Structure 1
Amino acid sequence: MTSHSNAIVWLDIPVSNLPRAISFYQAVLNFDLVSTQSNPDMATLMKQGSTSGLSLLSIPNVTPTPNAMLPYFNCEGRLEQAVSIAKLEGGKVLQAIHSMEPFGHRAVLQDVDGNRFAVHSS
């Protein structure tokens, strides 16, 4: 059995406007997203040295939904900054920063397409 250092291995997130979603997630997560050459309707995020990542997909018949899942993204100590940036980039705070003792702190946000996600820091 393979061991991963990250709880999330990969996510596909449906979006309605790929450039807007790329801008939002780059700013909030402080990662670089790249458009894939083979598919102009997809952008991939993967931090160097990480075993996990995500894809933003702008494809027909796959639409953003606010309650489908709740992925947690590690903010590496930038939790307050990530929440502030999310609001500036057009996202919403659904649950303010709060304790999850003994597992650190999180905030639940909504992205520009209505997807829910949590930002987390220990």
Structure 2
Amino acid sequence: MSDTVTNALVWCEIPVTDLNKGVKFYSAVFNTKLEPTEFDGGEIAFFPHEGDTDSSGHIYVGKPAEKGTGGTIHLNAPDNLEATVARAFDAGGEIVGEPVTIPSGRFQYMLDPDGNSIGIFELAA
């Protein structure tokens, strides 16, 4: 392999109780299309990514942590924070708190319909 991975984070996995509902939710929130695919004897749905060294992840049928108690995965807002948060709410997510500004951008916490803690991140202009 000639590519070198330089990011500390290389992959994330988000458990959902129903893959089709998870695909519908995450596709709507992030303006993309997650496609269920067979993998290792089960079905998962990958977030879009380019190349073998991009950080990305997938959703799979599993047991989410108790509502809001698991680790938080931050995902990139495809357009802007407000629009992505609005889509999350409309798709059945729960918005947690107000946007937080940090030197590299802004983010806001939400819970997906299974209670997974998700941060929606917008890079600073």
Q: Normalised by the size of structure 2, how large is the TM-score?
A: 0.81
Aligned residue pair count: 116
Question: What SS does the aligned partner of 1:114 have?
Answer: coil
CA positional deviation for 1:17? 1.1
Contact preservation (8 Å) 1:31, 1:47: no
Secondary structure of 2:12 counterpart: strand
Q: Which of residues 53, 73, 76 in structure 1 aligns to 2:75?
A: 73
Q: CA deviation at 1:77?
A: 4.0
Q: Which runs of 5+ in 1 are unaligned?
A: none
- Partner residue in 1 for 2:21: 20
1:3 aligns with 2:6: yes
TM-score normalized with structure 1 length? 0.83
Match of 2:119 in 1: 118
Take 1:76 and 1:89, find their aligned partners in 2: how far apart are those partners? 16
**If each structure's strand is expressed as a fraction of its own residues, which one has the higher value?**
2
The alignment-based identity, stated in percent, is: 27
Distance 2:30 2:106 in 1: 16
Kindly state the Cα deviation for residue 44 of structure 1 after the two structures are TM-superposed: 1.2
- Map of 1:98 onto structure 2: 100
What is the RMSD of the two structures over their aligned residues, measured on CA atoms?
A: 1.9
Does 2:44 correspond to 1:42?
A: yes
Q: Which runs of 5+ in 2 are unaligned?
A: none
